């Protein structure tokens, strides 16, 4: 079946450094790629998303890039802060499904003060 691979599974950075999380998807018909942040014991919350007609999207310290040819997309967090510590999930919308998201296994980001 279709899947999304996410790397790394854990990431530790110093406060102020940048963090990059990468995902690869298999369904070439996917056209929507959200990123969710999940703090311990809480609900996943959308932090940024990108559609296939755009190569990059930025929102303050967070940016997402998409390479459709290579079927890669990445999350970039600059000037990390301790409150960025959480588990981040990438996902892709299954082509033609109109709603089925396939999630990666998550990246646990730790930002050390």
- Give the footprint of other proteins on this chain (CB under 8 A): 4, 6, 32, 34, 36, 42-46, 49, 89, 91, 93, 97, 99-101, 103-106
Minimum CB separation from other proteins for residue 86, in Å? Answer: 14
Distance CA 27, CA 29 (A): 5
Taking the least distance from each CB to other proteins, the nearer of 37 and 77 is 37
Taking the least distance from each CB to other proteins, the nearer of 38 and 78 is 38
Minimum CB separation from other proteins for residue 40, in Å? Answer: 11
Taking the least distance from each CB to other proteins, the nearer of 84 and 104 is 104
Minimum CB separation from other proteins for residue 63, in Å? Answer: 17
Of residues 45, 18, 34, the one with CA closest to residue 73: 34
Maximum pairwise Cα distance, the chain: 44
* Phi, psi (degrees; rounded to nearest 5) at 29: -90, -5
Taking the least distance from each CB to other proteins, the nearer of 43 and 113 is 43
Minimum CB separation from other proteins for residue 68, in Å? Answer: 17
The residues pairing with 73 across neighbouring beta strands, listed in sequence order, are: 23, 66
Q: For residue 5, give every residue at least 6 positions away whose Cβ sits within 8 Å of its Cβ, in sequence order, or none.
A: 23, 24, 25, 104
């Amino acid at each position: 079946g279709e899947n999304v691979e996410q790397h790394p599974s854990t990431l530790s950075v110093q406060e102020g450094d940048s963090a990059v999380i990468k995902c690869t998807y298999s369904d070439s018909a996917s056209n929507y790629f959200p990123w969710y942040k999940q703090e311990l014991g809480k609900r996943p919350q959308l932090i940024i998303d990108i559609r296939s007609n755009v190569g990059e999207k930025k929102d303050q310290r967070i940016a997402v890039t998409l390479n459709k040819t290579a079927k890669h997309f990445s999350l970039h967090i600059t000037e990390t802060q301790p409150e960025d510590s959480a588990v981040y999930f990438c996902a892709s919308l299954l082509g033609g499904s109109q709603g089925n998201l396939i999630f990666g296994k998550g990246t646990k980001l730790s930002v050390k003060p």
